[in-house]
Every structure is written in structure tokens, then in C-alpha cells.
Amino acid sequence: MVWDAIAIGSGMGALVTATQLAAKGAKVLVLERYLIPGGSAGYFDREGYRFDVGASMIFGFGSEGTTNLLTRALAAVDQTMETVPDPVQIHYHLPNNLDLKVHRDYEAFVQELSDRFPHEARGIRGFYGECWDIFNCLNSMELLSLEEPRYLMRVFFQNPGACLGLVKYLPQNVGEIARRHIHDPELLKFIDMECYCWSVVPADLTPAINGGMVFSDRHYGGINYPKGGVGQISQKLVAGLEKYGGEIRYGARVTEVITEGKRAVGVRLASGEELRAKRIISNATRWDTFNGLLKKTPLPPSEKRWQSRYKKSPSFLSLHLGVRAEALAPGTECHHILLEDWAKLEDAYGTIFVSIPTLLDPSLAPENRHILHVFTPAWIEDWQGLSPSAYAEKKERLAAELIGRLGAIAPNLTDFIEYKEVGSPRTHRRFLGREDGTYGPIPRRKLLGLLGMPFNRTAVPGLYCVGDSTFPGQGLNAVAFSGFACAHRVAVDLGL
Ligand SMILES: Cc1cc2nc3c(=O)[nH]c(=O)nc-3n(C[C@H](O)[C@H](O)[C@H](O)COP(=O)(O)OP(=O)(O)OC[C@H]3O[C@@H](n4cnc5c(N)ncnc54)[C@H](O)[C@@H]3O)c2cc1C
């Protein structure tokens, strides 16, 4: 049998592509090496706790506009998701007692920030106002494949102002916009952190389009936590895929993309089985796709160019904790960022991210218990070549150090921990199938905004990439965008 499309992997990027294609009538097969779908948006169960593997601050569940891509992806295959609105996106605990909350309510956020930096009140409104300009352009058009000329023409004629607005911002980064409005060095550091906490690079390296999206949508569609955990999103997309005649196979690791006359025509599984399709879509990272699955094909010049511009971001040291409820003071927020010294913003083990999703959905833990997901950037090199005992000792030691730094959220946390699991970059590599456990691509140097990020087609005919190493990058709503775009391009190529 020849499938219309085979997707390698079932991360959010592939699931959105697969469901979109199935909804258009394509015969789609998804092959996932792990036991459940979702990749970095997956989950795992331990002792009555349901932990999110990675993502838990979820954009894309709004009900209005066009940027609510998770809502739209689910609706396309007749699925809905019950979500819990998060009143605060992030509670920042930063150097020099810079303690700030990003309220869902935009005015409340701007007021709180302006109270701390009264001399920059105008600049703050100017900067975030420009981010709204970008967002309003994006949110007024259907978000599909920028590789499809007829779509581009249609969108342009429907909304020329918005298109020209976006073209202007495509080559820009957040840093240059921030400096047009803001001069206070501490506030500029804060803007760096506002970027770093999702792009893992400071403002100068963060594309303006992504900044406009994140800094506005958190107040528009808002941050909403899916009831039952983040893993529910992929479970529902799989249910929708199957409803529309698609299939998914778990424990199906693809070891090679089969090419004939330079064209991708199928995949080989670890079991030796070969499967054929008219189009192959890789949800593995570009490094895993071109260095791993296409071993017999020389690295295309376009990929060499991409690798010279982008490198792998660090992975994470992750703690998944189950704690007694008394550990947290009443009124604690769900998401926190902690940093003690601005000089360490980008260092390994510098910035700490904390999510406590049970504050929004208590059903994820036993009664009177909470989940804490605590993570901090870490490089795989730091975890290689250790004996099993040295590896275990290092995980315990660094976990204890991290827990000791959480005083602003949960003093004496150690006394309340009932379950603890520590993951290193090696764990991320193993369970997520991502080279070096990377979070995703980051620019090697200052680039022209998003212009260097590739779309879905690749130099190998018949092979497409989807997910965070394609336009527009990391984050669930961003890879959902990439999924919509990929499905659109593949559907046009299949004549659907
Ligand atoms: C710790 C952490 C926290 C995060 N927090 C947030 C957050 O709060 N909000 C947010 O929006 N984003 C967050 N993200 C980012 C977000 O989760 C990712 O950007 C997004 O999920 C990546 O999706 P993807 O489609 O690129 O694929 P991935 O999630 O990488 O999934 C790829 C899938 O392909 C499978 N696969 C790979 N190779 C093969 C193969 N050879 N054969 C078969 N299957 C294969 C993998 O097993 C995996 O299931 C976080 C990520 C991490 C790691």
C-alpha cells in the first residue's frame, strides 16, 4: 500500500499536519518511536501524579482571531478541549528584587511594570504597543503556508495593510524594537528575560514576529491549561486523526528515509519493515533528519547554510516533584522564572523555570498534593562519560542545589517532597529522540529576524520537515503553525 503521507513522529507539529491532511481526505500514517503521542508535549504517570514532560504554558487556546491554532487544529477533526484560564502568565523573581507578574489583563501588567520603572512608562507602552501591531497583523489573516504563492496572493489582496506590516517586521529582532522605546538598562535586561524564557536567547536574537505573538497573545487569547494535562491535546488529536481515517503506530522507530532517484519515497523502521508514501514528513529535528535519517544522502547546501546560521540550544536538567500542598503559600502562581544574577541569564543552571499545573487542575495529583516541574538549561557535554554512580550522584547533587534556590516560591521545599524524578539532557535525548536533547534551534549570531528559518519543503523532493526546526520555531502554538503550513503545502502538492 502507498500512503498519501507518512509522518515520522507524533509531536504537535506532526499531529497538526496529519489531522489537517486527514480532514482533507488524505490517507495518513503517523509513526511514533515512543509509546504515546506528543513528544515534548507528552506526559507520564507516577504514583498518582500526572506530569507534563515539557510544555505547560499553553498559547493557542483562545476563541477569537486566527492565531488560536490549537483550538482550530482540534476543531478541524471535531475535537474540543476544556481549558483553565491562567490569570498570570509568569511570576518573575529577578535580581535586585525585581518581582513582577505578567497579568492576563494587559493594563494590569503594564501598570505594574510602569510602577517599577516610572521613568519608562511611555517606552513600556511604546514597546509592547509595537508588539500588538505585529500581533494584530498576524491575527487578521489565515495562517497557512508561506511557500504557496496562490495563498500569498489571496491573503495580500484580502489584507494588504497587515501583510506589509508583517513584511516590515520579518527581518527584525525584539532587541532593536525594545531599544527604540526603552533606555533603562535594567528594563532592557527584563525584556531579555521576557524573550529568553521561551526563545532561550536574549532579545537581540529573538525574532520580532515571535515576540509580537507571545507578548500580545498572552493578553488576548491568554494562557490556558488543558484539563487533564497537556498530554490530552495530543490524545485528542490522535482521536481526531483516527476518526478521519488516519492511523498511528507506536513503538515504530524510523531509522531511514528511503530515497529513489534522490526523491523520498518511504521509510524503513528499526524492525526492518519498509513503508511507502507519496510524501514523507519528518517531525524529527533537522539534525536528526538530515544527519540521522538520510545517512546516504549528502547534506544539501541549504541544510549546510542553515546549520551555519543555527545551532542546537541547550537541553534541560528537569525535576518532576510531587509535594504536599502546605509547601506552597496561598496565592502562589502557576508559572515562575527565577534568576539571582543578570550575568548568568544564559548560563547553564542559571535561569530556573517552575510550573505548578495542579494550581489550575488539581486532578493531576493526589488530594492535597501538588506537582512542581522545575527545569534549568543544561548542556549534554556536561553529562557525558559519567559512570552510572557518578551520573546518579550528579543528578541528586544538582537537584538539591536547584531545590535550595526555590526559596521565593517554596521555602523548605525539601521537607514536603513525596516524589522526585530527575531528568538530565541524556533523559531528554532518550525519551524525546532529539539530538543532544536540544530544546530547539537558536541563532549562532544576530540574524535577520525570522528570515533564516526554513519552511516545510526541503531540498529532497518528497520530503518535508515540520516542528520546531521549521518556521516559526519553538513552542506548541508555533509548531502548530508549522503543522498548518506543512499540511497546506503537502495538500497542494498532492492535488487535494
Ligand atoms: C522542558 C520543556 C518545557 C517547555 N515548555 C513549553 C511551554 O511551556 N509552552 C510551549 O508552548 N512550549 C514549551 N516547550 C516547547 C514545546 O514543547 C516544543 O517546541 C514542541 O512541543 C515541539 O514540537 P515538535 O512538533 O517540534 O516535536 P517534538 O515534541 O520534538 O516531537 C517529535 C516526536 O517525534 C518522535 N520521533 C523522533 N524521531 C523519530 C523517529 N526516527 N521515528 C519515530 N518517531 C520519532 C519523538 O519521539 C517525538 O514524539 C517546552 C519544551 C521543553 C523540553
> Angle at the Cα of 169 (from 166 to 175), degrees rounded to 5?
150
Give, for ligand 1, the residue of 20, 32, 40 to mutate: max count of ligand atoms closer than 8 Å to Cβ.
40
Using CB distances shorter than 6 Å, the residues near ligand 1 are 8-14, 31-34, 39-41, 54-59, 253-254, 283-284, 288, 316, 318, 375, 432-434, 439-440, 467-468, 474-476, 479
Q: Is the model's pLDDT at 220 over the cut of 90? A: yes
Q: Is the peptide bond before 472 cis (omega within 30 degrees of 0)?
A: yes
54 CA to centre of ligand 1 in angstroms: 8
Q: What's the average model confidence in pLDDT over 404-425?
A: 97
Tens of pLDDT along 91-109? 999 999 999 999 999 999 9
Percent of the chain with pLDDT over 90: 94
Same domain, 305 and 452: yes
Same domain, 413 and 455: no
Domains: count for the chain: 3
Q: What is the pLDDT of residue 295?
A: 82
| Dihedral (CA of 154, 160, 165, 170) sign | positive
475 CA to centre of ligand 1 in angstroms: 9
Pick the atom of ligand 1 nearest to 428's CA: 53
Tens of pLDDT along 264-282? 999 999 999 999 999 999 9
Q: Is the model's pLDDT at 162 over the cut of 90? A: no
Which residue is associated with the grid cell 506528543?
38
Q: Is the model's pLDDT at 301 over the cut of 90? A: yes
Same domain, 215 and 276: no
Q: Is the model's pLDDT at 5 over the cut of 90? A: yes
Q: What is the pLDDT of residue 331?
A: 95
**DSSP state for residue 262 in the 8-state scheme:** T
Q: How confident is the model at residue 380 (pLDDT cuts 50, 70, 90)?
A: very high
Same domain, 211 and 288: no
Q: Distance of CA 410 to CAs 265, 324, 355, 405, Å?
A: 53, 11, 12, 9
Q: How confident is the model at residue 70 (pLDDT cuts 50, 70, 90)?
A: very high
Q: How many helices (H) and strands (E) does the chain have?
A: 15, 20
Tens of pLDDT along 18-62? 999 999 999 999 999 999 999 999 999 999 999 999 989 999 999
Tens of pLDDT along 108-119? 999 999 999 999
How far apart CA 231 and CA 38 sit, in angstroms, is: 7
- C-alpha cell recorded at residue 115: 510602577
CA 342 to chain centre: 24
Rg (CA), the chain: 22
Q: Is the model's pLDDT at 325 over the cut of 90? A: yes
Closest residue CA from atom 3 of ligand 1: 54
> Angle at the Cα of 313 (from 36 to 32), degrees rounded to 5?
20
How far apart CA 466 and CA 284 sit, in angstroms, is: 8
Q: What's the average model confidence in pLDDT over 218-233?
A: 98
- AA letter at 156: F
Q: What's the average model confidence in pLDDT over 393-422?
A: 97
Residue 65 lies in a domain: no
How far apart CA 187 and CA 192 sit, in angstroms, is: 9
Give, for ligand 1, the residue of 19, 196, 283, 333 to mutate: max count of ligand atoms closer than 8 Å to Cβ.
283
- C-alpha cell recorded at residue 282: 519528518
48: left (phi over 0), alpha (psi -120 to 50) or beta: left
Q: Is the model's pLDDT at 296 over the cut of 90? A: no
Same domain, 358 and 397: yes
Same domain, 383 and 418: yes
User: Domain limits at 484?
Assistant: 2-38+230-309+447-494
Instruction: For 255, list phi and psi in degrees, rounded to 5.
Output: -105, -20
Residue 73 lies in a domain: no
127 CA to centre of ligand 1 in angstroms: 31
Q: In the predicted model, what is the mean pLDDT of the chain?
A: 97
Same domain, 171 and 241: no
CB distance 437 to 380 below 8 Å: yes
CA 36 to chain centre: 18
Q: What is the pLDDT of residue 473?
A: 96
Closest residue CA from atom 6 of ligand 1: 55
Tens of pLDDT along 463-478? 999 999 999 999 999 9
| Dihedral (CA of 217, 218, 220, 224) sign | positive
Closest residue CA from atom 51 of ligand 1: 54
Q: What is the 3-state secondary structure (H, E, C) of 239-289?
A: HHHHHCCCEEECCCCEEEEEEECCEEEEEEECCCCEEEEEEEEECCCHHHH
Tens of pLDDT along 347-375? 999 999 999 999 999 999 999 999 999 99
How far apart CA 345 and CA 200 sit, in angstroms, is: 10
427 CA to centre of ligand 1 in angstroms: 13
Same domain, 319 and 430: yes
CB distance 74 to 240 below 8 Å: yes
**DSSP state for residue 244 in the 8-state scheme:** T
Percent of the chain with pLDDT over 70: 100
The 3-state DSSP class for residue 307 equals: helix
Same domain, 333 and 405: yes
Same domain, 298 and 151: no
**DSSP state for residue 299 in the 8-state scheme:** P
- C-alpha cell recorded at residue 159: 489584507
315 CA to centre of ligand 1 in angstroms: 12
Residue 75 lies in a domain: no
CATH number of the domain encompassing residue 32? 3.50.50.60
Q: What's the average model confidence in pLDDT over 181-203?
A: 98
Closest residue CA from atom 36 of ligand 1: 9
Q: How confident is the model at residue 185 (pLDDT cuts 50, 70, 90)?
A: very high
The 3-state DSSP class for residue 196 equals: helix
